[in-house]
Structures are given as C-alpha cells and as structure tokens.
Amino acid sequence: MIPLVKSTFYKEKETKKSLNAFILKSEKLSFGVECEKFEKSFAKWQRRKNAVFVNSGSSANLALIQSLLNLGKLKKGDTVAFSSLTWSTNAMPLIQMDLRPVPVDVELETLNISSETLLRALKSSKVKALFITNLLGFCGDLDEIKKICRRYKIILLEDNCESLGTVYKGKKLGNFGMASTFSFYVGHHMSTIEGGMICTDDEKLADMLRLVRAHGWDRNLEFSKQDKIRKKFKVNSTFYSRYTFYDLGYNLRPTEINGFLGNNQLNYIEEIIKKRNENFLKISEKIYDNPNYYPLNMKHIDLVSNFAIPIVCKTKKIRDALVAKCEGKIEIRPIVAGNITTQPFYKKYIKTKYKILNANTVHSQGLYIGNNPELTQKDISIYLDLLLQ
Ligand SMILES: Cc1ncc(COP(=O)(O)O)c(C=O)c1O
C-alpha cells in the first residue's frame, strides 16, 4: 500500500537524531530564539518582509482574520469572498468572527477560482476581502484576480497552506496579496509536526499578528514598538507592562521544538520541492490527457509545488471504479474538503445558498494520491498502472 504520507520529516532519521540532541541541550523549549530564527529565514526564503510563526496553518488563518478586525481593516458584518474548494479552517474564522462569507466557485481546469468566477460572485455581493486558497500547488489567473481586487478595493489574502514553493509568473505563491498563510503540518511541503506561518510586508499587520498570537500582550514586539504602545495606553510601570493586554488574541504560539524543526527542514526546502515537482511531472504528463479524467491546465504556472496529485474523473462511475481499484494498493482521499459550503458546520451557520457547480463536481468525482519526496520509481509505476487501466 502506498500511503499518502511516507514520513514526518525529510531526512527523517538525521532530523530525529538532531532533534533529540537539541532537546537534551536546551534549557528553554517554549517560544524563543529558534522560532525567531525560523521566522527570519522563512521570510527571506519567501521574499516577504515579515513572517509570524504560529502553531498551525489553521491558527495562521485565525490570527490573520482576527488581526484584520483588530486593525479595523475588516469590520464585523463585512463580506469576505473565499474559494469554495478549500479546507474547513479557511472558512471557519469568517463565521467565528461574524463576517459574511461568500463562496466563489473554482474552474475545473485549475481547481482554483479565476477572474471570471470572481467577477461572477462580485455581481451579487459587495466584497471587502478575498481569502483565496491556492489549491494543491495550483492557482488560477492570480495576476488578473489581483487587478480586480485593486479595482474594487478588495483586500487580497492567500491561504497558501497547500502551495508553498509554487511559482506563478516569476513570483512565489503567497506573494500576491496583503498577507498569506502556510501550514507545516506533517505531509505538507515541509513539516514542523504542527506549525503555520503568516507572511506580510505590512509592518502594522505583522505587529498585530504577534500580539494576537500571544494573549494580546506586547512581549514579542520590538522594544521601540513596546515603548510606543505602552505610551499610547499610558502603561508606565514595568510591574504592569508585562501583564497588559491590548487587543483580542489567543495563545497560538509554537514551541522551540517546532522552531528547531523549521530551521532544520528549511535547509532542504529546494530539494523537497524539486523532488516533488519531478514526481508530479512524471505522473501528470501521463494522466491528464487520459479521456477518463478532466485535464488540468498548468501552462500558466512556472513551477508546480504540491504534496498530492488530484484527479477529477469525467463521471462519478469512473471515480467509484477507481476508488475500488486503489483499495489496499494506494491510499487515496477526497480532494481537500470538497465544496466547503456543503459541509455540516457551514450549513449549520450560513443559510444563504450560492450556486457552486464545479467544486461539487470535484467533490463527487475527484480523489487525490500522495506526492512526497520518498516516492520510488516503483511507486510511480504502480500509480500509473492503476490510474491508466
Ligand atoms: C488550504 C488549507 N488551509 C488551512 C489548512 C490548515 O492547516 P493545519 O493543518 O496546519 O492547521 C489546511 C490543512 O491542510 C489547508 O489545506
């Protein structure tokens, strides 16, 4: 059986050994220098000014939406558009924070929203922000989407938890909007076991994210910024300054274990992306022109970086037959969470209905297989034998 995920870390044995040594020698394992070092290195790698490390991709999404509310860039009741084909915790913070979520359908040929599906959604809603999901290493015409956002004064946010390393029009995904979120959960592009990041070039947003990440206090701000906020709120005594809470927050801090792993795995990120991309190309060139499946258009993408390979069958019957064939041989699963508006949590809280056709098709006729750096030539042959029967 080929599993979806083969390891917790890239170079698993060495990584576990060095993690062991790190824990033994460390006096402090709560948030500290390793986490801060990882933030700096990740920001540099991603080419963004700020990176704020949190304990999961879901926390990254939660912190981002909370921070935009704290800063007044979003207000309760504002409409936020989002990709209908996404993960639960992309849409959940919108509901949790009393925003009005408006799903945007995806294109079958990219699995992502496009300027066309966005424009269609904008006809019926006045949208304040777009929380786009770059699904499984792919994207739509993001440059056009960005232009539309600029034209309509829509804040563009990218959930890039599934597309770290993908390059579109010469730029890494995650660099098209005001901020972007990442996940370092096991099986994603790189793992810190659990972990997430928010990247932004906006200094005020980065500071608010640091506040939201840790209780609403200012301890992770630079000294000059602590000084400023303390003066603003007339917090004059050091006795109280460490226990003053300036805005709504959570505790979403990662640990030094996660920070250490981030620094360790980031050393291999280019190697990881390259291996996955090579696997993907070997498989995709054979499967996407098969008449049983919808072709995926990735001509507009310079480099696809994914951790799974999606297949959308032309009919449900073909998909069900494929599921049966994979039984006991290849681990498979539905494509992300399908049309998220059909999930029980969504229907419980949001009563407005939108016509979402393609995300439904992806859910009822799709599946995905794993793509990891440890895939062997034999695994790829098994994939192709089964998928092309
Ligand atoms: C698009 C998307 N957003 C957010 C998340 C949440 O990330 P995490 O599992 O690190 O909480 C995921 C998880 O797979 C995801 O696919």
Task: Report how far ligand 1's centroid is from the alpha carbon of 244 (Å).
Answer: 32
Contacts of residue 198, defined as CB under 8 A and 6 or more positions apart, other chains included, come to: 51, 52, 54, 60, 63, 64, 179, 180, 181, 182, 209
- Mind spelling out the 3-state secondary structure of 325-369? HHCCCECEECCCCCEHHHCHHHHHHCCCCCCCCHHHHHHHHEEEE
Residue 56 Cβ contacting ligand 1 at under 6 Å: yes
Task: Label each residue of 80-139 as H, E or C.
Answer: EEEECECCHHHHHHHHHCCCEEEEECCCCCCCCCCHHHHHHHHHHCCCCEEEEECHHHCC
Ligand 1 site, residue 254, Cβ cutoff 6 A: no
Residue 218 DSSP code: S
What integer pLDDT is reported at residue 69 of this predicted model?
A: 98
Do 186 and 15 form a contact (C-beta atoms < 8 A)? no
Give residue for tokens 């029967």.
Answer: 389
Of the candidates 188, 189, 215, 300, the residue annotated as catalytic is 188
Residue 35 to residue 50: CA distance in whole angstroms = 13
Decide if 188 is catalytic: yes
- Phi and psi at 117, nearest 5°, equal -70, -30
Q: Whose CA is closest to atom 10 on ligand 1?
A: 57
By three-state DSSP, how is residue 205 classified? helix
Q: Which residues contact 72 (CB under 8 A, 6 or more apart)?
A: none
3-state secondary structure of 318: helix
Residue nearest to atom 8 of ligand 1 (CA): 57
**Residue 184 Cα: closest atom of ligand 1:** 10
Distance 225 CA to ligand 1 centre (A): 31
CA of 154 to the centre of ligand 1 (A): 23
| Ligand 1 neighbourhood includes 158 CB (under 6 angstroms) | no
Which of ligand 1's atoms lies nearest the C-alpha of 337?
Answer: 16
Is the C-beta atom of 89 inside 6 A of ligand 1?
Answer: yes
Secondary element (H or E) of residue 258 = helix 256-266
| CB count in 10 Å sphere of residue 146 | 17
- 58 CB less than 6 Å from ligand 1? yes
C-beta 90 within 6 A of ligand 1:
yes
Pick the atom of ligand 1 nearest to 185's CA. 10
Which region, left, alpha or beta, applies to residue 134 given φ > 0 means left and ψ of -120 to 50 means alpha? Answer: beta
Tokens for 170?
């010469």
Q: Which amino acid is residue 337, in one-letter code?
A: A
CB atoms within 10 A of CB 245: 12
Give the separation between CA 278 and CA 271, rounded to whole angstroms. 11
Q: Which residues contact 347 (CB under 8 A, 6 or more apart)?
A: 341
Ligand 1 atom index nearest CA of 86: 1
* CB 185 near ligand 1, within 6 Å: yes
Tokens of 179: 């901020």
Question: Which residue in this structure is represented by tokens 């809280």?
Answer: 349
Tell me, using a 6 A CB cutoff, whether residue 86 lines ligand 1. Answer: yes
pLDDT the model gives residue 389: 75
- How many angstroms does the Cα of residue 304 sit away from the middle of ligand 1? 18
Tokens of 219: 């301890």
Mapped onto helix, strand or coil, the DSSP state of residue 10 is coil
pLDDT of residue 58: 98
Q: Strand (E) positions, 260-334?
A: 301-303, 308-312, 332-333
Atom of ligand 1 at shortest distance to CA of 183? 10
Beta-sheet pairing, 179-183 with 155-159:
parallel
The Cα–Cα gap between 266 and 272 comes to 9
Ligand 1 within 6 A of 183 CB? yes
Spacing, Cα 184 to ligand 1 middle (Å) = 9
> Cα–Cα distance between 192 and 8 in angstroms, integer?
8
Q: pTM, whole model, 2 decimals?
A: 0.98
Question: What crossing angle do the helices spanning 57-70 and 88-96 adopt, rounded to 10°?
Answer: 30
Report the chain (389 residues): mean pLDDT per 10 consecutive residues.
97 98 98 98 98 98 98 98 98 98 98 98 95 98 98 98 98 98 97 98 98 97 97 95 97 98 98 98 94 96 98 97 96 96 98 95 97 96 92
CA distance 112 to 47: 23
From 55, 85, 87, 113, mutation site for ligand 1 pocket: most ligand atoms within 8 A of C-beta: 87
Neighbour count for residue 190 (Cβ, 10 Å)? 25
- For residue 156, the one-letter residue type is L
Look at residue 278 in the predicted model and tell me its pLDDT: 97
